[in-house]
């Protein structure tokens, strides 16, 4: 075997996306063996599963760069993001679809590393990948690897959680430190590298949320503060429920490394993406129970009550700053950090 | 307003993918208004729907170039491809997710045209888009627009259709002419343009398949011959069911324009992608009923019985050629036509 032939075999080629023999071999070798489960096994064009109840359905594409970053990679991200979106409706995440768009030339070992990360994260989250798709585009027509996952979950009877349920008097909780994901990814960008031991918070929150849902019937809203950060997500909740939200800057958990990097780069942690955090809005009587349920989970140890829902300023978020003054916290405008998820 | 400002407002910017204010405005303006339905309206991170029964779940990404082609565009393709994959399990397609990866600089009017096509095709197919996602990547990091759709359908009680159900003696049907999609897309490629009035066959086949399912209890397998064409899909079915498949070249419907273009380009219509065709494998007693059900539908007028399932040559497809000889028809090897879907 010649040297160039060996090199070719180590990279993804256009023919791997043809739908023909090389596609079948790649799917079998790189995906089916790693993700094996009884619902994926038939390899029909649709997977089939029995289902009864209230179904939650969501999708996200993942275009993060670089695809490997401290604390995770695009595969872990693609499972966590969709699992967490399902969790925001109180659903138990069950099934994922997994679609890869691969740039020709991606090393096969990078693909395998990402698929292994999908496998491990799906196992941790208790979900099964039951259907998938692979496309390959020419060198220069994509940036290494994009992943889309869609997810299906089941919402337990009696659970009614929505971004439109927040009421004045409710407490606002966050499950831990903010900004870790965005700053960790940024620290590995070409031309921007800076020394930090910070890791992405990228994590599947289904089990933590299941505990929170069980802990109180007063859980009104859940949302994971990804793109746009805590500030943007709180604004979404305020607008959707037509209420105001007041938060206290001193109560928001932020790691020193994130504060430091943000000062250096001129960024605000409130707008930095998170991939393993959940915001909860809870009627006052349930707030302590939900906080305790968060803290019992490995991903909620640093949870805190950071504010409350108010009748004033509907659709707005106001923050009592460290200095004691109040200011409006708007949605993210512009795009300081593209391709963070 | 300056000229450059106006030009900027007509194109998709990175900030449209930030998750912040411009993302919300774009989603509201370009997607939610066009696709409005009660399940999409809450705009929570997950859509919620009641469901009971056997659920079919599938996903595909669409990377076709060019994004507008004779007979369709990437939006119509993204609905049809996923609707048709659901139909291959006998499911009635119900819900779609819709995820866009947009290259910075895409004209807003192109995006709107694609979304309008999604809307019209979803309406025709009787499905609702109930959840979605938008990402924007830098100029040069994607090729204009990639779309992922995932789909959920319900399989009627008593229906059991799978690629593993083909049995010796079964008839092999195809719902119309082959190769139209691939050749229509190819005719618009830069450097390859050739004159043809050929249009893509891109069509949602849910209604035709519902008629076929009703027409006979003897419908064993369905599969849409997309990437890799009729030859590759028949090979998949033969392998999955561990049977042989014998087809007759003279019975396979092919348009003269496709034959002509294939001769000119050195391609074989058996390997060219279709996006509005269905292969059915039916026990002999049901074949005429299923054929009649195909022909009653606007997308099945040219349906034909093209061969049968045999016990010999398990996992293989053999073809009786125009000249009367027999030859093995293998899966597609290599990739003559990248980015056709």
Q: What is the mean pLDDT of residues B27-35?
A: 93
Q: Tell whether B283 and B185 lie within a shared domain.
A: yes
| Contact between B89 and A44 using a beta-carbon 8 Å cutoff | yes
Give the Cα-Cα-Cα angle B307, B309, B314 (nearest 5 degrees): 130
Q: Tell whether B13 and B132 lie within a shared domain.
A: yes
The first and second tokens of residue A188, run together, are 């590995």
Domain boundary pick from B119, B154, B189? B154
pLDDT in tens, B264-282: 889 999 999 999 999 999 9
Whether B38 is covered by a domain: the verdict is yes
Q: How far apart are CA A62 and CA A54, in angstroms?
A: 27
Give residue A168's pLDDT: 98
Q: Tell whether B149 and B180 lie within a shared domain.
A: no
A-B CB pairs within 8 A amount to 285
Q: Tell whether A135 and A187 lie within a shared domain.
A: no
Q: What is the mean pLDDT of residues A104-112?
A: 97
- Predicted confidence (pLDDT) at residue A240 exceeds the cutoff of 90: yes
Domain boundary pick from A154, A179, A200? A154
Domain boundary pick from A92, A124, A154? A154
The first and second tokens of residue B279, run together, are 């292969």
Whether A287 is covered by a domain: the verdict is yes
Q: Tell whether A182 and A124 lie within a shared domain.
A: no
| Contact between B57 and A49 using a beta-carbon 8 Å cutoff | yes
Give residue A190's pLDDT: 66
Whether A280 is covered by a domain: the verdict is yes
- Predicted confidence (pLDDT) at residue B341 exceeds the cutoff of 50: yes
The residue among B39, B44, B341 with the most chain A CBs within 10 A of its CB, best to mutate, is B44
Q: Tell whether A127 and A43 lie within a shared domain.
A: yes
DSSP single-letter state for residue A213? H
pTM of the model: 0.95
Whether B51 is covered by a domain: the verdict is yes
| Contact between B133 and A60 using a beta-carbon 8 Å cutoff | yes
Q: Residue A271: phi, psi to the nearest 5?
A: -110, 5
Count of the separate structural domains present in chain B: 2
Mean pLDDT for all residues in chain A: 94
Whether B48 is covered by a domain: the verdict is yes
Q: How far apart are CA A117 and CA A123, in angstroms?
A: 10
Full residue range of the structural domain in which residue A38 is found: 3-154
C-alpha distance from A150 to closest chain B C-alpha (Å): 6
Q: Residue B164: phi, psi to the nearest 5?
A: -95, 5
Sign of the torsion angle spanned by Cα atoms A332, A338, A339, B2:
positive
C-alpha distance from A320 to closest chain B C-alpha (Å): 22
- For residue A279, give Cα distances in angstroms to A164, A182, A287, B165, B170: 14, 17, 12, 48, 56
Whether B164 is covered by a domain: the verdict is no
Give residue B6's pLDDT: 44
Ranges A9-18, B53-62, B266-275: which has the least confidence: A9-18
108-137 of A, contacting B, C-beta below 8 A: 130-133, 135-137
Q: Tell whether B16 and B122 lie within a shared domain.
A: yes
Q: Where are the beta strands (DSSP E) in chain A?
A: 47-62, 68-69, 72-73, 92-103, 128-137, 145-155, 171-174, 219-223, 244-248, 279-282, 304-310, 317-320, 326-328
203-262 of A, contacting B, C-beta below 8 A: 223-224, 226-228, 232, 236, 240
C-alpha distance from B225 to closest chain A C-alpha (Å): 10
Q: Tell whether B248 and B138 lie within a shared domain.
A: no
Instruction: From A87, A217, A162, A154, select the one nearest B50 (Cα to Cα).
Output: A154
| Contact between A57 and B130 using a beta-carbon 8 Å cutoff | yes
Q: Tell whether A100 and A176 lie within a shared domain.
A: no
Q: Does A266 touch chain B (CB under 8 A)?
A: no
- Predicted confidence (pLDDT) at residue A193 exceeds the cutoff of 70: no
Q: Tell whether A177 and A150 lie within a shared domain.
A: no
Whether A163 is covered by a domain: the verdict is no
143-182 of A, contacting B, C-beta below 8 A: 143, 146, 148, 150-153, 155, 162-164
Q: How far apart are CA B154 and CA B162, in angstroms?
A: 15
| Contact between B63 and A226 using a beta-carbon 8 Å cutoff | no
Q: How far apart are CA A196 and CA A178, in angstroms?
A: 16
Which of chain B's residues have a Cβ under 8 Å away from the Cβ of A237?
A: none
Question: For the domain that residue B291 is a member of, what is the CATH number?
Answer: 3.90.650.10
Question: For the domain that residue A105 is a member of, what is the CATH number?
Answer: 3.30.1330.10
pLDDT in tens, B124-159: 999 999 999 999 999 999 999 999 999 999 999 999
Q: Tell whether A270 and A317 lie within a shared domain.
A: yes
- DSSP-H helix ranges across A126-228: 180-186, 206-215
Q: Tell whether A177 and A91 lie within a shared domain.
A: no
- Structural contact between residues A303 and A175, judged by C-beta atoms closer than 8 angstroms: yes
Q: How far apart are CA B284 and CA B169, in angstroms?
A: 7
Q: How far apart are CA A126 and CA A122, in angstroms?
A: 6
pLDDT in tens, B204-263: 999 999 999 999 999 999 999 999 999 999 999 999 999 999 999 999 999 999 999 999
Whether B333 is covered by a domain: the verdict is no
């Amino acid at each position: 075997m010649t040297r160039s032939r060996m090199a070719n075999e180590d990279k993804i080629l256009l023919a791997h996306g043809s739908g023909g023999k090389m596609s079948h071999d790649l799917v079998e070798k790189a995906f089916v063996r790693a993700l094996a489960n009884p619902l994926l096994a038939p390899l029909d064009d649709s997977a089939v599963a029995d289902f009864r109840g209230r179904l939650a359905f969501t999708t996200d594409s993942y275009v993060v760069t670089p695809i490997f970053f401290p604390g995770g990679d695009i595969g872990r991200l693609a499972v966590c993001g969709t699992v967490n979106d399902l969790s925001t409706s109180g659903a138990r995440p069950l099934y994922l679809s997994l679609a890869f768009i691969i740039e020709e030339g991606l090393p096969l070992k990078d693909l395998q590393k990402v698929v292994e990360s999908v496998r491990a994260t799906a196992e941790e989250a208790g979900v099964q990948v039951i259907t998938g798709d692979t496309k390959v585009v020419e060198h220069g027509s994509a940036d290494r690897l994009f992943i889309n996952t869609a997810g299906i979950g089941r919402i337990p009877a009696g659970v009614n959680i929505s971004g439109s349920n927040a009421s004045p008097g409710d407490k606002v909780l966050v499950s831990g430190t903010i900004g870790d994901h965005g700053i960790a990814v940024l620290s590995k960008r070409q031309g921007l590298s800076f020394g930090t031991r910070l890791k992405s918070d990228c994590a599947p929150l289904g089990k933590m949320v299941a505990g929170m849902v069980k802990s109180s019937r007063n859980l009104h809203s859940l949302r994971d503060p990804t793109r746009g950060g805590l500030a943007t997500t709180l604004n979404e909740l305020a607008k959707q429920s037509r209420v105001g939200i007041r938060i206290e800057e001193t109560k928001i958990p932020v790691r020193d490394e994130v504060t430091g990097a943000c000062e250096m780069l001129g960024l605000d942690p409130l707008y930095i993406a998170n991939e393993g955090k959940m915001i909860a809005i809870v009627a006052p009587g349930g707030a302590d129970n939900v906080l305790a349920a968060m803290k019992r989970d490995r991903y909620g140890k640093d949870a805190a009550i950071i504010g409350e829902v108010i009748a004033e300023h509907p659709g707005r978020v106001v923050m009592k700053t460290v200095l004691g003054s109040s200011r409006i916290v708007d949605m993210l405008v512009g795009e300081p950090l593209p391709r963070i998820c």
